Amino acid sequence: MKLEKEEYGFDWPPSFDKDTHWRYTHKRKLTDLERVAEWDALNGNYERSEALKKLVRKGVPRKYRVDVWLSISSAGQNMLENKGLYNNLTARCAQKETTDNMKDTSGECVIDVIRRDLLRTFPENPSFKEPVMLNNMQDILSAFCLHRPEIGYCQGLNFIVGTLLLATQSKDGELLPEECFWLLVALVDILPDYHSNKMTCLNNDCLVLNDLIRKTVPQTHSVVSLFGLPLQMFVTKWFVCLFVDVLPFHTVLHVWDTLFYEGNKILFRVAVYEFVLHKKELKKLQDPSGLAMFFRNLFWDNKAWDDFEYMQKVFKKTRKLKRKYIEHKRITKASETEV
């Protein structure tokens, strides 16, 4: 029997049989009830505090997510202070005079580039066949190009916007494009300059991660480096898409909860934890091909399906990782590559 899709419209992993599936959904319902009760008690007060940080680390319930993301990031504030800007941007994107000047680095009109990727975003998810979903995606990405021309459109942002739209969609299916636009701006501001033209910050953070792995999970690092392949070949997508399409969808949202609250260090914590979590498998690998296959199949790995447990472990296993260290590494790596 083929199981229906999970709550956001994605396929269950093929390895999930009926039992695992039932156990998983059952457990999730219980954790969700618990989480919701805790968030109910806050009464919409999301002021920063140690207590709130702890709650966010346990994951924000689906029904509170939009409000929480808007208030713990700069998005809500920005949206208030720039009333009408999003509508103004999308209106301009509908004018030929504007779009004629919006070029991708290849010289092609960027709207065309965006349009081509719309149906190439989560094609297995039925929501991404719906015209209203696709139109909103195009609007947000185009508006973003106009708002942040120094970044423009970077492939991968389509997955980020798709994730935002799905995550913030109300129970009756209503989409919140303006909120998603500001959340996208907030996310890009939280990140180093990953998505802009030369992607130098992205390359740099991959190198930082490489050093982090060498320091914290040396056994796995020696395996990877034995094959002589740069780690970057495998982890680019982790940073560009913020783990979308790498981890299960609801786990990605949980990562983003903490990303919005705590900043981009969380990306390193999750990335390092992936190596900790898969230490055994990694050490067994025989050749570069096995290594590449390993990274490719991570998505179907069941270990990250229980997002609650997964994130608790991320924080526990990587608690020694300090923001200072990452910032220091970023500077040294950047100066090394400059030479």
* Distance of alpha carbon 32 from alpha carbon 28, whole angstroms: 6
- We find the least distance from the C-beta atom of residue 236 to another protein, in angstroms, to be 3
Under a CB-based contact definition with an 8 Å cutoff, are residues 177 and 136 in contact?
A: yes
CB of 307 to another protein, least distance (A): 22
Asked whether position 14 contacts another protein by CB under 8 A, the answer is no
Phi, psi of 109 (to 5 degrees): -60, 125
Contact range with another protein by CB under 8 A, out of 64-72, 164-172, 198-206, 325-333: 198-206
Six token digits for residue 297: 């199949």
Q: At closest approach, how far in Å is the CB of 253 from another protein?
A: 19
Q: Nearer Cβ to another protein, position 245 or 307?
A: 245
Exposure class string for 27-66: b at 16+ Cβ within 10 A, else e: ebeebeeebeeebeeeeeebeeeeebeebbbbbbbbebbb
Size of the site for another protein (CB under 8 A): 45
Distance CA 314, CA 201 (A): 24
| Minimum separation from the CB atom of position 304 to another protein (A) | 19
How far apart CA 70 and CA 100 sit, in angstroms, is 33
Q: ∠ CA(243), CA(248), CA(250), 5° rounding?
A: 95
* Residue with smaller CB distance to another protein, 176 or 241: 241
Compute the least distance from the CB of residue 229 to another protein, in Å: 8
- Tell me which of 88, 101, 105, 219 binds another protein, using CB under 8 A: 105
Find the binding residues for another protein in span 111-150 (CB under 8 A): 113, 116-117, 119-123
Q: Which residue type sits at 287? A: D
Residues in region 34-73 near another protein by CB under 8 A: none
One residue of 59, 61, 76, 156 binding another protein per CB under 8 A: 156
Cβ 247 to another protein shortest distance, Å: 14
205 binds another protein (CB under 8 A): no
The yes or no reply on residue 289 touching another protein (CB under 8 A) is yes
* 8 A C-beta contact, residue 165 and residue 150: no
Residue from the set 52, 85, 109, 199 that interacts with another protein by CB under 8 A? 199
* Cα(116)–Cα(121) distance, integer angstroms: 10
Q: Classify each residue of 152-168 as buried b or exposed e, where b means 16 or more C-beta atoms within 10 Å of its C-beta.
A: bbbebbbbbbbbbbbbb
Alpha-carbon dihedral sign for residues 188, 189, 194, 199 = positive
| Minimum CB distance to another protein, residue 291 (Å) | 9
* In the complex, minimum distance from the CB of residue 225 to another protein, in angstroms, rounded to a whole number: 7
Do residues 46 and 68 make contact, with C-beta atoms less than 8 angstroms apart?
yes
Question: 12 forms bridges with which residues in the sheet?
Answer: none
| Helix, strand or coil, per DSSP, at residue 109 | strand
Exactly one of 197, 302, 332, 337 binds another protein (CB under 8 A); which one? 197
In the complex, which residues of this chain contact another protein (CB under 8 A)?
Answer: 104-108, 113, 116-117, 119-123, 154-156, 158-159, 196-200, 203, 225-230, 232-233, 236-237, 240-241, 245, 286-289, 292-293, 295-296
